[in-house]
A and B are shown apart, each in its own frame.
Chain A
Amino acid sequence: MDNLILINIIILVSIALIAAAVLYFVSQKFKVTENPLIAEVENCLPHANCGACGKAGCHDFARACVNTAAEDFKKLYCPVGGNAVMCQIAHLLGHPDIIKEETVAVLRCQGSCQNAPDKVEYSGIAFCRIANKISSGRSGCPNGCLRLGDCVRACPFGAISMNKETGLPVVDEDKCTSCGTCVAICPRGIYEIRPKGAQTGRVYVACNNKQKGGIARKNCKTACIACQKCAKICPDIKIENNLSYIPTTVPADKFGAELAANCPTKAIVYIGNKNKEEEVKHD
């Protein structure tokens, strides 16, 4: 009986030893040597694997950081980690610091339940993508927010929530990493990544409607009617397809308040300097 146990132990131990030897040999033979810097860089990254940088995940981004030349390194940016992470990586790799203005996703629509009241009922499945395919939506605006929350479900950082009162999604500025998932998922392309404007505040046209003014206003009180008023204040503003667009280069601290105050439909939103804790927002 003792013998049997002994034989078993010997057989198992010898199998283990043979397997270990094979594994050791294979791991030496087919070893992939990787720059240890890549692992270090990866450790700095947020590990969200969201793909916002344009690479297939954080490891791929780290590899790209290490393998590119100094002048190309400037083109790489992890929007989720932001300046802090990029400076850390630049420090590790011996490149000069990268400082970009922080960005945030903005919803270019104010078609809330109050501004753009429901005209029809939608009883299908609560997904924006299918509602967009079936009809122009409850308010009738063919470019506005469908208020069904595809972006809320898609946001990997939980930065978007539904405001029950207005029915519109709200972006939490502190949680938003401007990864661009909402921009990609929104079937109507309402989201835009714009500079946060920590010092200057930010100003943008909160409307996406490309119809003629009269038609647009029938469905929504706060629709852009392309009246050209904003273009007179700031000549950089472009008006195409019956819709005004404020380029990100327009200084918000200089023009913001004036633009927002002069917009006849209040389609232009100016969010002032956050440090001063003032928010100029018209309703």
Chain B
Amino acid sequence: MTKTFPMGGIHPDKHKIAGDIAISNPGLPEIVYIPTKQHIGAPAKIMVKQGDKVKVGTLLAAADGIVSAPIHSSVSGEVIKIEDVIGEFGYYEPMICIKVEGDEWEDSIDRSDAIVRTIPENTEEIIAKIRSAGIVGMGGAGYPTPIKTTIPEGKKVDCLILNGIECEPFLAADDRLMQEKGEQIIVGAKILNKLLGIQKAIIAIDENKPRAIEIMTKLTKTYVGVNVRVCESKYPQGGEKQLIAAITGREVPSGKLPVDVGCIVQNVGTVFAIYEAVMKNKPLFERVVTVSGDAIEKSANFMTRVGTPASFLIEQCGKISSDLGQIVFGGPMMGTSAVNPNAPITKLTSGILLLSSQMSDKKPETPCIRCGRCVDGCPMGLQPNAIARAVRSHNMDALLELHVLDCIECGSCAYICPARLPLLDCCKLGKIEVRQHQNKK
């Protein structure tokens, strides 16, 4: 029987067009723009200056503090400028612009395809490698991985879950990665096992990825302790707390972390990056990006260097329909529509979607009919309708009582609302305002 989380959830159309398309190499653009902030926490400190020659994998910016991550060059060439460039949301962000010249890699990186299976003995060495490779949670949150893999004192972890759910429609980056780099992911899981001092790892895969399930199940037979669990295809199955509930039946209490219930969840993309960092000395400078949508001729999965402009990838996917409504960075449920299609790909960009106006048009909202579908659909057991009312009337006490800070911003409420109320916007706004209110106190 397939597993799932107990509360809420919706069933949007899957649109997994890109799931059958192999990961390809899009080539190199002329100039890459590498943002210095691709993670949660402090922006990295820039270590290069204008005119410097860099190779692939050269350190561009070092981590500034514990909650931060270093940034490495994704191309070889010359740093032409370090300045504020317009990002995906229209705000100017400090970026390092590198003119691409050839494709010369740092000597320390192992570029062979051979799979290395012997895990280093020293756990401190492993953590140091993960830290210096600049690995962050690639599911979208961008939380620096070394912090997540270091268990706070007094806490015990007994369950490692690899998140291969990818419940967002359209996206197929993790799906393809499991199909093509399955064994590397499993070795990565064994590395994490060693770090956490446990023997078992569970790879959770959505039932709508039959090929990935088949390949991973076959591979796990040769590795003791690694198991595949198939989860019901329901959104947001890939949410950290939902996945823990589905696999272990444990509920992460409000305001607590998965570690508090003895679980660590890592995205399969992150685990693959850990494998490459530890075994191949390769810093995180490229990732799989799905380009898809109903307003573009063909879909694709690209192994993209960080800093490549999104428009460079879009150009390779054929004609854009004249009916283009919006360009979304990330998935259609949680992603944000981009203001600037020339914005660079970061470590966290899992997809670029070009949606037709029919799909992206927001129809005018009508009054709430109190049907309660948003309450049924909320995977966190919140009351989005009540939150929306409290936000509009600026009632901070009510927002706190409604636990607005537990909202995972999955967008199930807004998707299911028959009155088309902007429930997700209200929840996001409520979170911002409650945090401001608490800071003021």
Contacts and interface: CB of A to CB of B under 8 A. Distances in A.
Interface of A: 119-120, 123-125, 127, 129-130, 133-137, 140, 142, 211, 215
8 contacts: A120-B90, A127-B429, A130-B425, A130-B432, A134-B89, A135-B339, A136-B91, A211-B84
Given A124-B422, A129-B429, A215-B92, 14 more contacts: A123-B362, A124-B425, A129-B432, A129-B433, A130-B425, A134-B89, A135-B89, A135-B339, A136-B89, A137-B90, A140-B90, A140-B339, A142-B92, A211-B84
B426 interface: yes
Interface in B408-438: 422, 425-426, 428-429, 432-433
Contacts of A137: 90
Interface in B330-362: 336, 339, 361-362
Contacts of A140: 86, 90, 339
Give the secondary structure class of B's interface.
mixed
Given A133-B432, A136-B339, A140-B339, A125 B422 contact: yes
Interface of B: 84, 86, 89-92, 336, 339, 361-362, 422, 425-426, 428-429, 432-433
A133 B429 CA distance: 9
B421 to A, nearest CB: 9
B426 A211 contact: no
Contact of A130 (B92, B361, B362, B429): B429
Contacts of A133: 428-429, 432
Contacts of B422: 124-125
B429 A125 contact: yes
Given A123-B362, A129-B432, A130-B432, A136 B425 contact: no
A215 B91 CA distance: 12
B339 A119 contact: yes
Nearest to A135: B89
A135 B429 contact: no
A120 B340 CA distance: 9
A133 to B, nearest CB: 6
B428 A142 contact: no
Given A124-B422, A125-B422, A136 B428 contact: no
A120 B339 contact: yes
A257 to B, nearest CB: 34
A127 B426 CA distance: 9
Contacts of B339: 119-120, 135-136, 140
B33 to A, nearest CB: 15
Shortest 7 CB-CB distances between A and B: which pairs? A136-B90, A125-B425, A125-B422, A123-B362, A135-B89, A130-B429, A135-B90
A63 B81 CA distance: 60
A266 to B, nearest CB: 24
B334 to A, nearest CB: 13
B423 to A, nearest CB: 9
B428 A130 contact: yes
A134 B429 contact: no
A70 to B, nearest CB: 33
Contacts of B425: 124-125, 127, 130
A51 to B, nearest CB: 13
A242 B59 CA distance: 32
B339 to A, nearest CB: 5
Contacts of A136: 89-91, 339
A129 B432 CA distance: 9
Contacts of A127: 425, 429
B61 to A, nearest CB: 22
Nearest to B327: A120
A127 B91 CA distance: 18
A136 B86 CA distance: 10
Contacts of A142: 90-92
A215 B89 CA distance: 16
